[in-house]
Chain A
Amino acid sequence: MMHEQTGPATHAVVVNEAEQYSVWPAGRRPPAGWRQVGAPGTREHCLGVISRSWTDMRPLSLREGRGDVASAGTGTGTEQAVRVEQGSAA
């Protein structure tokens, strides 16, 4: 679906290393840890782009299974940590 883009390009789509998306004023350098993706557009346009491309809202580390599972046994040292499973919420 194409989004009608009308009005001035005021915002840009930005993404951080965790692949979390957001918008940022066009023409302003995104804060550290964020980079702009695609061309600036209206706020609605940018949010529309994000709605279509940000399909898994978990941070990248969790998606890639790098999320550290808490070692519950820090006190006792008897329990084992395991990797996070993928997509179990479906």
Chain B
Amino acid sequence: MKPLSPARTQRAFEALAGEGRPHHNVSAVRLPGRPVLPALEASVAELAARHPELRTTLHLGAEPALVTADERAVELVLAELPDDIAAFAARERERGQEQDGQRDDEPARPLRITALTTADAGWWLASTWSGVLLDDELHRGMISELLTRYRVLTADADPDQAGATAGTAPLSGADTAQDGLLATVGSLPPAFALLAAWARRDHDAGLRHSTTVDLGDVAAGLRALAAQADVRLASVLHAVHLRVLSTLTPETSFTTGIDLGGSAGLARALAVDAEGHVTLPDWTALVRAVDGLTASGQVCPPGLAGSAEWTPVDVVFRHRAEDDADDVAEGVAADAADRFDLVADGFGLAVTAIGATTLRLSAADRAADRAALERLAGLYRAVAAAMAHDPAGRADADLLPAPERELVVDTWNDTRAGYRDDLCVHQLFEQQVRRTPDHVAVVDAEGGTVSYRALNERANQLAHHLRDLGVGTETFVGICVEHSVEMLVGLLGILKAGGAYVPLDAEHPADRLACIVEDTAAPVVVTVSGLVDVLPPGEALAVQLDRDAELLATRPTTDPIPLTGPHNLIYAMFTSGSTGRPKGVLVTHRGVVNYLDWAVEGYGLPVGSQGAPMLGSIAFDLSVPNFFLPLIGGKDVTLLPTDRALDALAERLREPGDFSLLKITPAHLDVLRSQLPEPDSVHSVHTFVVGADEVKPETVMAWRRVAPGARIINEYGPTETVVGCSVYEAGPDFDPSAPVPIGHPIANTQMYVLDRFLNPAPIGAVGELFIGGDGVTRGYLHRPGLTAEKFVPDPFHPVPGSRMYRTGDLARFRPDGDIDFLGRIDHQVKVRGYRIELGEIEARLLLHPRVSEAVVAARTDAHGDRYLAAYVVGTDEDGPGAAELRPFLAEALPGYMVPAEYVLLPALPLSTAGKVDRRLLPDPAADRSGAELTAPGTPVEETLAQAWAEALGVPAVGVDQEGLPARAGLAGTLRMVELARRSGLRVPLGAAFRHGSVADLAAVLAAVLPSVGLGDLGAKRPGDEADAPEAAALPLTPAQHAVLAEPAAGGCTGVLVEAAAPLDPEALAEALRALVTRHPALRLRPDAESGLQHPVAEREAWSLTAVEVAAEEAVKAARAETEARGTSGPLLQAVLLGRTRLLLTAPRHTVDEPSWPLLLAELGLAEGLSGLAPAERSSAEGSVATGDYPGQVRALAERACGEEIVGQLPSWLADAGPVVPLPPDDARPAGVPVLSRTLTLDGAPSDAELLDALTRALGGAARVEVTRPGPLGHVGCLTTRFPVTLTTTESAAETLGRLPEGGRDHGPLLHLRGDRVSAVLAALPAPTVAFDASAPAASLWGAAELLGPDTARPPARPVELVRRPRAGRTELIWRIDGTRWAATTLDALVDRFLAELGVNAQPVR
């Protein structure tokens, strides 16, 4: 019987803790004839006997537990199918859902088999299976096994059915426990994620779609490519698949699934480096690289995970020689008439290449809807066709299928519209002046008005004055005037003069203003007397509109002769640069005219009688529509008092009014709403245009309540492409559960979502947003390099030589053509190797009903570790805490995207532009105070929280604070485990690493280890710390883990020494004390449960007994006593027999055999113990313990937790297949725990020679656990152990030579990581033979004799062979399990072995 693998146990609890995905799935297969119930019953029984998963039930309730029993937990039911199979499946799933283990008396079962008879010939075998206890792959394997067995059993009765089994092999790999959910280890890139936009929101968890891509017409080309590259055709199809995936992700490397085929259907994770493999310059190189991928060790095993997080691989690729749709274990298609799968958590996408010409795509509805799957099929077709038609072609070719390309490039960008493209903005105003000279153009804050004619004349006078001062075409003229009529006079005057205005916001820091004036070298600044002091000192001439009014009044009031055309500059707007120095965006009239002419209709300027309130600084182009738009359409600009603009605006909005529009930032809109709380209170604005920052759905919904009659438009546009480039109007069907899109492009504007090759990304795929069209500006002032970098050739625009602007924003197309904004690329951060879009997390946070504003930032803690912090403004005063937000985020985001810290703020810090200023976000560590931490709720949580706080050196930790081990590192986590132990709580080190928060760890301890509780250890020994203050707990060594798992915890090892001279007991005691003091290993008691070795008091570490009689019986008795004490006795026990015989013993988990010569040599050097000194002095010199044991142990643990050695996994998995062990003797086993034979050989055959003989003697193959000496010069338990599968097709020397690092890393991987890597290794077939060659060279022994293995203790493995050098000869000790074999079997085995070895042996004993 096999216990449930740790991986599966963990998975079950993870699944329970995870999102509420349906846990029950239903599959059915149609079979001919009538069901033969006894055969079915027997098949189910056999299946359950074979799979522990089918004997395991899940008990929830007070103490959740997985219980594995001897009895099967599978139900078998016979029923009649009342309607159709789909209806049955739906009912079954519902029924399963109810029976989810919540009730104590009704645990959740893994599987229920229903034989459904139908009216016609044939019946359905339906299986209802728990997604928690089983998984898709495992379930399929089981059903295949079940059917195979059933067919065999019914073969006699029904010869027709027997035939059906011919092609179906039983799935032998099923109990090596592959998880259908593959996962990545930390060193692997993030898992490829299917596109979130592909699935409908109301997807059906149980539905799958499938479609077939027929590549018949390009098969010849693909074959030619395979031939040209000299690879298998399967690799070409795989390359098609990987190339498709790479177009769907912005990641340059990702991990995805590959099904290696074979009867086990083993699926594995494949790490793909897109930059290095998938995007090679040509197809030939690509397919070669893909061909090499599977062989290059980048394939990782199933069920593998990183330390704290794991990401399931949701896409799998398979290749089948032919369509084996009849094989139920393989099938994922739901469309086959005789099979029905209602699979809740199968792969999101399974791609099966069948032969050379067909790809079958099967997608879960949760991953892609029908339309998305069809588009995907088109992509596969296009990529395959590109490769087939031009085998020498380039891998960066545009591969989007023509219809989709036309949609995203042309149809959705067909925005041609007429506008006054021959005019400048001030000329649009002049035209309006001629049309409506007497309309009010400006209403000032006091209510005074200025007509169009008056405004125009004042602006003209300024323009003439500026011309006199030398202002001409594209002369930069600064403008520093607060919101007033003068400001509009200034702006228009500068433009009319031919100049380009440079806004200087008086609120901005002086440094910034100086920087701008210097950069533009503006010869003139238009200002007012009150602001002259604000201006940076310099050469610029200040024109003061108020003080110089008399002079200006003398200038002509006529429109100046124009000096500018649409391609000349209108303004230089400075935006913050990534380098810290602001950069000036050079904007031309044409782009602004296009925007304004579009906005007249787009924003409904004619609808209201008033134009717009003037809100926002002119230093940000956000405000452009608030003043220029009304002035080109005969409406008025309403000025607000500068010092209290928002308050005044709120007052205005409450009053009756008829504003056409208001352009505002989302942040200001929220401030405004806080002053307008009553629903239905605003009727004064027809259109709210929200721009310059992300809008949350909550804001939209709130404004619908406040201003039910108003349009709400989300506008998006970088300054580099003029104010607004795209708009989304929240219509009546607005969905507040999704982020607000930025919509579609405005007139004469193109928006492209491009991949890293500047090719259009498929619908739904995240790419960088590029903007082309008439709004594209000239570039950055004095920054030609930056301009060339950001303004690039537009390959899609019909006008040759066009440019497009690279926004640095991430975006994707929705299937309806609206664009989703997904944050800045430079807000992308990497945390623990994952690239994270902060915008995505923020968008999700904003969907929480109690969050009104949210920002996520990546921060670095004191240890230099990056983590995510969420800053949240709540809708109510208390606001939602981490306990509420974390699960909410975890519902939609992978674990690595869930922030570790949550900071509740009264308001987000805003910059003067009304945008969130990320630099002002507080440090969560400084912000955190005890009051905000979630307090522990149970004693276990309390103990853990205290231990973590102390280990981290902080006052307290919250129980829901994540990522504690990542912050603490190995040393800190060890500290925590030790601190918890002192409080009486045993915490397995692996669990501490895996479960990053107190709450999670406590839950796991409570669930998985129900026996663990406070106080049960009770092993807190007073005086421990006082006795050995320097001793600290250490992790167990891999060898200690292995030995502790053996029968009797490995028993004892020891030496019997015949001293050359009598030994003084006093001196001996002193020497032993010194020995224990010098060697930390002798003061540390290992504890399997906590994974640590804990210090013990010196007096408990050793013992010395003197026995008068030195007879053989006394030796035996002393030894028996030592053995009996097991792991609890002293760590080093000495028995002095008479005066010259000394028996030294120690638990094998403390001292390994190579340690003894070192210990003896040290004893021999002590005064009064010269009798112990080895005969050959020279050998003693080479046997001094020099090693730093704690250092060595820590190094092992550090190495184990590193990512580097994970790369060895493929080697360890490569040939780990089960090897049939020596068949047990059914007839008459000896019936004793152990049978042994000891031989002595002449000479010293090498380990490899012995292993070769062993392999052949065992019948040609053996899986052997080899034990070898560990690092030299150490006292402790440090031997190296590793499993290896040996066969006669290769010599042992070669096989061993292939092992990475001589096998020394296997133990650390298996025992010390404590993650899914360890779990996977643990789940491999166990060795059936132990080969121990760790005994040290004979020359080191001197007068000592190493004790043989304990005759009563069973061997560590069914067959054990111990090799010991003995003065020019070799002692071999054979031990086998006497409960399985008879003595004659052992004799025959030894004879075969000796014959194979070809040497003479002399049996002893």
Contact = CB atoms under 8 A, between A and B. Distances in A.
A79 B788 contact: no
22 contacts: A16-B793, A20-B791, A21-B788, A22-B788, A22-B789, A22-B791, A22-B793, A23-B788, A25-B396, A28-B396, A47-B788, A51-B785, A57-B787, A58-B474, A70-B423, A70-B566, A71-B422, A75-B431, A81-B562, A82-B561, A85-B563, A89-B521
A69 B801 contact: no
Contact of A33 (B758, B778, B802): B802
Contacts of B779: 20, 57
Interface in B560-599: 561-568, 586, 589
A30 B793 contact: yes
Interface of B: 281, 394, 396, 422-424, 427, 430-431, 434, 470, 472-476, 498, 521, 559, 561-568, 586, 589, 757-758, 778-779, 784-789, 791-795, 799-803
Residue with the greatest number of chain B CB neighbours at <10 A, chosen from A27, A32, A46? A32
Given A68-B422, A70-B423, A54 B565 contact: no
A12 B460 CA distance: 47
B427 A20 contact: no
B405 to A, nearest CB: 15
A75 B434 contact: yes
Interface string A5-46: 000000001101110111111011011111000000001001
A70 B561 contact: no
**Secondary structure of the B side of the interface?**
loop
B431 to A, nearest CB: 6
Contacts of A70: 422-424, 427, 562, 564-566, 589
A16 B473 contact: no
Nearest to A62: B567
Given A70-B564, A72-B430, A74-B422, A84 B473 contact: yes
Residue with the greatest number of chain A CB neighbours at <10 A, chosen from B281, B564, B566, B567? B567
Nearest to B795: A31
A54 B800 contact: no
Nearest to B520: A89
Given A21-B784, A22-B791, A23-B789, A72 B474 contact: no
Nearest to A50: B788
Give 10 nearest A-B pairs by CB, closest first: A33-B800, A33-B801, A16-B801, A31-B795, A51-B785, A54-B784, A88-B472, A32-B800, A47-B785, A50-B788
Contact of B784 (A17, A57, A85): A57
A62 B758 contact: no
A43 B786 CA distance: 11
A28 B793 CA distance: 12
Contacts of A30: 793
Given A67-B568, A82-B563, A31 B794 contact: yes
B473 A33 contact: no
A33 B396 contact: no
A84 B568 contact: yes
B434 A24 contact: no
A34 B793 contact: yes
A30 B791 CA distance: 14
Given A28-B396, A34-B793, A48-B785, A84 B563 contact: yes
A90 interface: yes
A9 to B, nearest CB: 12
Contact of B561 (A25, A32, A80): A80
B758 A47 contact: no
A16 B800 CA distance: 8
B423 A74 contact: yes
Nearest to A80: B561
Contacts of A13: 788
Contacts of B434: 75-76
Given A31-B795, A74-B422, A88-B475, A69 B562 contact: yes
A81 B562 CA distance: 7
A84 B564 contact: yes
Contact of A84 (B475, B565, B799): B565
B784 A69 contact: no
Interface of A: 13-14, 16-18, 20-25, 27-28, 30-34, 43, 46-48, 50-51, 54-55, 57-59, 61-62, 67-72, 74-76, 79-82, 84-85, 88-90
B789 A17 contact: no
Given A70-B423, A75-B431, A57 B778 contact: yes
B460 to A, nearest CB: 12
Contact of B474 (A22, A51, A59, A88): A88
A61 B799 CA distance: 16
Contact of B521 (A51, A62, A71, A90): A90
A18 B776 CA distance: 14
A85 to B, nearest CB: 5
A31 B1320 CA distance: 52
Contacts of B778: 57-59
A30 B562 CA distance: 37
Nearest to B758: A25
B757 A25 contact: yes
A32 B476 CA distance: 34
Given A51-B785, A79-B559, 13 more contacts: A17-B800, A20-B779, A21-B788, A27-B394, A34-B801, A51-B784, A54-B788, A68-B567, A75-B431, A75-B434, A82-B563, A89-B474, A89-B521
B793 A31 contact: yes
A67 B567 contact: yes
A27 B281 CA distance: 10
Given A25-B757, A25-B758, A85-B563, A72 B423 contact: yes
A25 B795 CA distance: 12
A50 B476 CA distance: 24
A62 B793 CA distance: 20
B456 to A, nearest CB: 12
B472 A85 contact: yes
A44 to B, nearest CB: 9
Given A57-B586, A57-B779, A59-B567, A18 B801 contact: yes
A26 B1044 CA distance: 61
A43 B779 CA distance: 18
A69 to B, nearest CB: 5
Contacts of B566: 68, 70
A89 B475 contact: yes
Nearest to B801: A33
A23 B792 contact: yes
A46 B787 CA distance: 12
Contacts of B786: 47
A27 B1051 CA distance: 70
A71 B394 CA distance: 49
Contacts of B800: 16-17, 31-34
Contacts of A89: 473-476, 521
Contacts of B476: 89
A69 B883 CA distance: 64
B229 to A, nearest CB: 20
A59 B786 CA distance: 16
A72 B801 contact: no
Contacts of B424: 70, 72
A55 B788 CA distance: 12
A69 B423 CA distance: 8
Contacts of A72: 423-424, 427, 430, 559, 562
Given A31-B793, A80-B561, A84-B563, A22 B803 contact: yes
Contacts of A18: 801
B567 A85 contact: no
Contacts of B792: 22-24
Contacts of B427: 70, 72
Contact of A62 (B568, B757, B802): B568
Contacts of A75: 431, 434
Nearest to A28: B396
Residue with the greatest number of chain B CB neighbours at <10 A, chosen from A16, A33, A43, A59? A33
Contacts of A17: 800-801
A5 B49 CA distance: 67
A16 B567 contact: no
